[in-house]
């Protein structure tokens, strides 16, 4: 029998038809929508005079542009309000499940999907958002799509898609203390570059991946897109089943047993061939931080910004442009750089384990005076747990400001903007120019590093901060 | 929605010799709040094009009247990051019908083809050649020929062939989109979905 990968197994089971010399007609099990990339898709359905083919396969929540204060009041920003209202109207009109602002399960779409157990192994999942790759942590094929494709899924439950090439990234070994899954993925992206996995779908494997919790796996898969990959996935195992068991939308009783029996078959066969393979040793990985304007520009927090040696042409020009934006010089150390803001949140690191790790770290300490510290839970459920576990109290005593759930300062569509020229160390996923506000300078790091930076007021190694 | 037919395009081109142009630069997130597809061109490359007061930045190529055209020639890894189709809507709305680079991000490329903007991937050498020529000679034209799958620098006749699958090629030439195709397959999809 032919040896196949996990990606092949799920992909091939969802191909309705392969168009000769063209893409596959690809069936979508679950479709998430939000307020920003769906309105034009609904508008076009109306123009064509067609409806939503299977509303029960789509789930909606407003997350990208929503304010993170006063969510019980009318949204002040007119355009944001219109987008959220349009989402409500469209969901009501077509009978789509909506987790609205203020409801028990409102939150970032990639946080609530797993939290509710909607995301399950073996599924195909899409959303008009590139961080849909997050759901790959469950052994699903999950990826971001454009609005035309959102329209296709609404209208037909399918998209036209060419099968990606296959890459496996194996991380074996044991990471040292203070090294989180965020450091693993920032390290991988720095190694293979922000475009290194373009054209590929990635499977993460190896003992260092296996030992991660589901939330930590989500952080890894979330950032697959930051190396250009269409998505990333991890074969489901006992950790996955344990996480899903009892969740609202997970199968129950006999259906559960049947589902688990199927999920256990979802793995890459020994001897299956990938188009590209990388191997890394977790023991080589240290706390990481980015210094430039794409997520591939990452170094150890105790490292130096690379020099331009060996660079030429547009490569060098682009590199210097990036450093100029950040206000950094080639060759200098990143440690000790002053920081103005820290942001804990987003679909990358806005889950309860992230908030726990920050709270545990800052407990009994105060943030530095020069730091404004925002903590934005990924969902209402995360917010609720943070209160119940006493984390909010710890964080507030440390000087962090807790806000309400949403994408927030990750992309600064709402008022949560880092001012021009200011430095933010963020647990989010992108350090592009202006990503956190026009002129904002973003450095990406783990929740642990962000916690340490908040206390120290400057870039520091989370393993050293409390040693003095 | 079905879009303009695209067969052969001859145009001057705009050079943007920057690598890793992400979709946050093409259209910053704060301009994604519209509920319709039109009008994004005004904010194309907003933060590279205008300062915080809204004044045009003289050194940015879109503010340089020397350069114009329906083709954008860019550096490597164009369109990375966010899946926002608004980035392509902004390019289209501004007047671009074709983007040339030695390397495109996946989702961006799909989004382009879905609304009728042609992404043409060329070799790094040909990309450099095009960039140098159009930068030095703003009147130089480039011809992009979909039926022949060929891109030509008209002043010298140098050309390269480019990839596009037959299905998308047919769509571009006829102005069809994927939904037209998918709707025509409705029965097959229903039969498939019955077991899911």
Angstrom distance (rounded) from CA A146 to CA A40: 11
- CB count in 10 Å sphere of residue A221: 29
Locate the chain B residue with the closest alpha carbon to A295.
B81
Query: Is residue A240 domain-shared with residue A298, that is, in the same domain?
Result: no
pLDDT at A13 exceeding the cut of 60: yes
Instruction: Give how far Cα A198 sits from Cα of A35, A225, B141, Å.
Output: 27, 8, 30
pLDDT for res A314: 83
Q: Does A317 touch chain B (CB under 8 A)?
A: yes
Angstrom distance (rounded) from CA A462 to CA A162: 43
Opening angle at CA A437, ends A434 and A441, nearest 5 = 60
- If you count residue pairs, one on A and one on B, with CB atoms under 8 Å apart, how many are there? 202
Percent of chain A with pLDDT over 90: 97
Query: Does B181 map to a domain?
Result: no
Query: Does B174 map to a domain?
Result: no
pLDDT digits (tens, 9 = 90+) for A55-66: 999 999 999 999
DSSP annotation string for A365-390: ----TT-EEEE--SBHHHHHHHHHTT
Query: Does A353 map to a domain?
Result: yes
Query: Does A1 map to a domain?
Result: no
Query: Does B183 map to a domain?
Result: no
Q: Any idea what the CATH number is for the domain that residue B63 is in?
A: 3.20.19.10
pLDDT for res B3: 73
Query: Does B166 map to a domain?
Result: no
Quick one: three-class SS letters along chain B?
CCCCCCCEEEEEEEEECCCCCEHHHHCCHHHCCCCCCCCHHHHCCHHHHECCCCCECCCCHHHCCCCCCCEEEECCCECECCCCCHHHHHHHHHCCCEEEECCECHHHHHHHHHHCCEEEECCHHHHHHHHHHHHHCCCCEEEEECCCCEEEECCCCEEEECCCCHHHHHHHHHCCCHHHHHHHCHHHHHHHHCCC
Query: Is residue A219 domain-shared with residue A247, that is, in the same domain?
Result: yes
**Closest Cα partner for A10 from A155, A148, A167, A121?**
A121
Query: Does B111 map to a domain?
Result: yes
Q: Which residue has the tokens 């020639």?
A: B73
B169 Cα to chain A: minimum distance (Å): 9
- What residues 152-171 of chain A have any CB closer than 8 A to a CB of chain B? 152, 155-162, 164
Contacts of A313 in chain B (CB under 8 A): 128
**Closest Cα partner for A146 from B107, B131, B29, B41?**
B107
Opening angle at CA A46, ends A43 and A50, nearest 5 = 130
**Closest Cα partner for B47 from A417, A376, A330?**
A417
Opening angle at CA A120, ends A144 and B83, nearest 5 = 5
The tally of domains found in chain B comes to 1
ipTM over 0.85: yes
Give the strand order in the sheet containing B150-153: B118-121, B98-101, B71-74, B8-16, B141-145, B150-153, B158-161
CB contact under 8 A, B114 and A149: yes
Query: Does A163 map to a domain?
Result: yes
Locate the chain B residue with the closest alpha carbon to A86.
B35
Contacts of A317 in chain B (CB under 8 A): 17-18
Q: Which residue has the tokens 């103005």?
A: A340
Cα distance from N-terminal residue to C-terminal residue, chain B: 28
Query: Does B170 map to a domain?
Result: no
Contacts of B128 in chain A (CB under 8 A): 313
- How are beta strands A141-144 and A124-127 bridged, if at all? parallel
pLDDT digits (tens, 9 = 90+) for A92-137: 999 999 999 999 999 999 999 999 999 999 999 999 999 999 999 9
Feature table: binding site of A for [4Fe-4S] cluster:
347, 407, 410
A401 Cα to chain B: minimum distance (Å): 23
Query: Does B151 map to a domain?
Result: no
Contacts of A228 in chain B (CB under 8 A): 77, 80, 105-106
B124 Cα to chain A: minimum distance (Å): 11
pLDDT for res A468: 40
Opening angle at CA B78, ends B74 and B83, nearest 5 = 145
CA atoms within 13 A on the CB side of A31: 29
- Residues 6 or more apart whose CB falls under 8 angstroms from that of B156 comprise B133
**Coil, helix or strand at residue A113:** helix
pLDDT in 10s for each residue of chain B, 196 residues: 557 889 999 999 999 999 999 999 999 999 999 999 999 999 999 999 999 899 999 999 999 999 999 999 999 999 999 999 999 999 999 999 999 999 999 999 999 999 999 999 999 999 999 999 999 999 999 999 999 999 999 999 999 999 999 999 999 999 888 999 999 999 999 999 998 8
Contacts of B29 in chain A (CB under 8 A): 64, 411-413, 435
Q: Does A80 touch chain B (CB under 8 A)?
A: yes
Angstrom distance (rounded) from CA B161 to CA B21: 24
Instruction: Give how far Cα B178 sits from Cα of A130, A223, B63, Å.
Output: 20, 28, 35
Question: Looking at the DSSP assignment, which residues form a beta bridge with residue A232?
Answer: A202
Question: Could you tell me the two tokens for A294?
Answer: 């794409």
pLDDT for res B2: 56
Q: Are A44 and A151 in contact (CB under 8 A)?
A: yes
Phi and psi at residue A143, to the nearest 5°: -155, 160
Q: Are A431 and A296 in contact (CB under 8 A)?
A: no
Q: Which residues of A359-376 are buried (b: 16+ CB within 10 A; e: fewer)?
A: bebbeebebbeebbbbbb
CA atoms within 13 A on the CB side of B100: 35
pLDDT digits (tens, 9 = 90+) for A300-346: 999 999 999 999 988 899 999 999 999 999 999 999 999 999 999 99
B81 Cα to chain A: minimum distance (Å): 7
Query: Does B48 map to a domain?
Result: yes
pLDDT for res B189: 96
Angstrom distance (rounded) from CA A8 to CA A22: 18
Q: At what angle do helices B106-115 and A147-156 cross, to 10 degrees?
A: 70
pLDDT for res B4: 82
Angstrom distance (rounded) from CA A158 to CA A29: 9
- CB count in 10 Å sphere of residue A228: 26
**Mean pLDDT throughout A422-442?**
98
Out of A253, A276, A299, pick the residue that ends a domain. A276
Quick one: DSSP state of residue A132? G
Q: Does A81 touch chain B (CB under 8 A)?
A: no
Feature table: binding site of A:
347, 407, 410
Query: Is residue A117 domain-shared with residue A149, that is, in the same domain?
Result: yes
Q: How confident is the model at residue A466 (pLDDT cuts 50, 70, 90)?
A: low
- Residues 6 or more apart whose CB falls under 8 angstroms from that of A77 comprise A65, A67, A414, A415, B33
Q: Any idea what the CATH number is for the domain that residue A80 is in?
A: 3.30.499.10
Opening angle at CA A358, ends A356 and A363, nearest 5 = 95
Quick one: three-class SS letters along A301-342?
CCCECCCCCCCCHHHHHHHHHHHHHHCCCCCCECCCCECCEE
Domain residue limits at A445? 291-467
Q: Are A288 and A187 in contact (CB under 8 A)?
A: yes
Locate the chain A residue with the closest alpha carbon to B37.
A40
Q: Are A163 and A275 in contact (CB under 8 A)?
A: no
Out of A245, A276, A307, pick the residue that ends a domain. A276
CB contact under 8 A, B19 and A318: yes
Angstrom distance (rounded) from CA A119 to CA A168: 22
Query: Does A449 map to a domain?
Result: yes
Q: Are B122 and B71 in contact (CB under 8 A)?
A: no
Angstrom distance (rounded) from CA A230 to CA A1: 28
Secondary structure percentages of chain A, helix, strand, coil, to 5:
40, 20, 45
Q: How confident is the model at residue A465 (pLDDT cuts 50, 70, 90)?
A: confident
The tally of domains found in chain A comes to 2
Question: Could you tell me the two tokens for A392?
Answer: 């909010």
pLDDT digits (tens, 9 = 90+) for A396-406: 999 999 999 99
Q: Identify which of A83, A130, A151 has the shortest CB distance to residue B33.
A: A83
pLDDT digits (tens, 9 = 90+) for A199-209: 999 999 999 99
Give the dihedral of Cα atoms A50, A133, B28, A383; nearest 10 deg: 100
How far out from the chain centre does Cα B20 lie?
15
Domain residue limits at B46? 10-140
């Amino acid at each position: 029998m032919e040896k196949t990968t996990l990606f092949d197994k799920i992909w091939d089971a969802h191909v309705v038809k392969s168009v000769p010399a063209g893409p596959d007609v690809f069936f979508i099990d679950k479709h998430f929508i939000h307020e920003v990339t769906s309105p034009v898709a609904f508008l076009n359905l109306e123009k064509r005079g067609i409806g939503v083919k299977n509303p029960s396969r789509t789930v909606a929540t407003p997350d990208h542009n929503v304010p993170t204060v006063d969510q019980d009041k009318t949204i002040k920003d007119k355009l944001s309000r219109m987008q959220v209202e349009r989402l409500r109207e469209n969901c009501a009109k077509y009978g789509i499940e909506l987790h609205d602002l203020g409801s028990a399960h409102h939150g970032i779409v990639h946080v609530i999907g797993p939290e509710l157990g909607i995301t399950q192994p073996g599924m195909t999942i899409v959303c008009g958002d590139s961080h849909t790759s997050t759901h790959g942590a469950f052994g699903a094929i999950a990826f971001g799509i454009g609005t035309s494709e959102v329209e296709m899924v609404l209208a037909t439950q399918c998209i036209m898609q060419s099968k990606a090439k296959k890459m496996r990234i194996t991380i074996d070994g044991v990471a040292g203390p203070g090294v989180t899954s965020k450091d693993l993925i920032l390290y991988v992206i720095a190694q293979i570059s922000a475009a290194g996995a373009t054209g590929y779908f990635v499977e993460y494997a190896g003992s260092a991946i296996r030992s991660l919790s589901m939330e930590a796996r989500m952080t890894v898969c979330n950032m697959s897109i930051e190396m250009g990959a269409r998505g990333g996935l991890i074969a489901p195992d006992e950790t996955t089943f344990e996480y899903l068991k009892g969740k609202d939308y997970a199968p129950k009783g006999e259906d559960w047993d049947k589902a688990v029996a199927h999920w256990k078959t979802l793995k890459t066969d020994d001897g299956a061939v990938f188009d590209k393979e990388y191997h890394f040793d977790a023991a080589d990985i240290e706390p990481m931080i980015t210094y430039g304007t794409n997520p591939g520009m990452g170094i150890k927090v105790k490292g130096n910004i690379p020099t331009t040696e060996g660079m030429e042409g547009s490569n060098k020009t682009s590199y210097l442009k990036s450093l100029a934006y950040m206000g950094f010089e080639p060759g200098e150390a990143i440690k000790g750089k002053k920081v103005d803001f820290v942001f804990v949140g987003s679909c990358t690191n806005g889950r309860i384990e992230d908030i726990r790790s920050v709270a545990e770290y800052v407990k009994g300490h105060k943030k530095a005076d020069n730091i404004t510290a925002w903590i934005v839970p990924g969902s209402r459920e995360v917010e609720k747990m943070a209160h119940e576990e006493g984390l909010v109290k710890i964080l507030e005593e440390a000087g962090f400001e807790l806000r309400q759930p949403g994408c927030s300062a990750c992309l600064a569509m709402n008022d949560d903007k880092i001012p021009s020229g200011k430095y933010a160390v963020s647990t989010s996923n992108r350090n592009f120019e202006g990503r956190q506000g026009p002129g904002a300078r973003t450095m990406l790091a783990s929740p642990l590093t962000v916690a340490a930076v908040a206390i120290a007021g400057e870039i520091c190694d989370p393993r050293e901060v409390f040693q003095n | 929605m079905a879009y303009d037919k695209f067969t052969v395009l001859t145009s001057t081109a705009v050079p943007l010799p920057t690598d890793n142009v992400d979709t946050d630069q093409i259209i910053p997130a704060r301009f994604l709040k519209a509920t319709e597809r039109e009008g994004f061109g005004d904010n194309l490359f907003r933060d590279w094009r205008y300062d915080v007061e809204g004044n045009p930045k003289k050194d940015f190529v879109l503010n340089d009247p020397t350069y114009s055209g329906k083709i954008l020639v860019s550096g490597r890894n164009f369109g990375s990051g966010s899946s926002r189709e608004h980035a392509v809507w902004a390019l289209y709305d501004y007047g671009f019908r074709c983007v040339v680079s030695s390397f495109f991000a996946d989702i961006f490329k799909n989004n382009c083809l879905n609304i009728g903007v042609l992404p043409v991937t060329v070799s790094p050498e040909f990309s450099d050649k095009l960039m140098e020529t159009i930068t030095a000679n703003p009147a130089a034209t480039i011809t992009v020929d979909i039926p022949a799958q060929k891109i030509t620098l008209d002043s010298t006749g140098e050309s390269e062939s480019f990839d596009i699958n037959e299905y998308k090629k047919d769509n571009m030439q006829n102005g069809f989109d994927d939904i037209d195709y998918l709707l025509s397959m409705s029965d097959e999809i229903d039969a498939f979905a019955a077991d899911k």
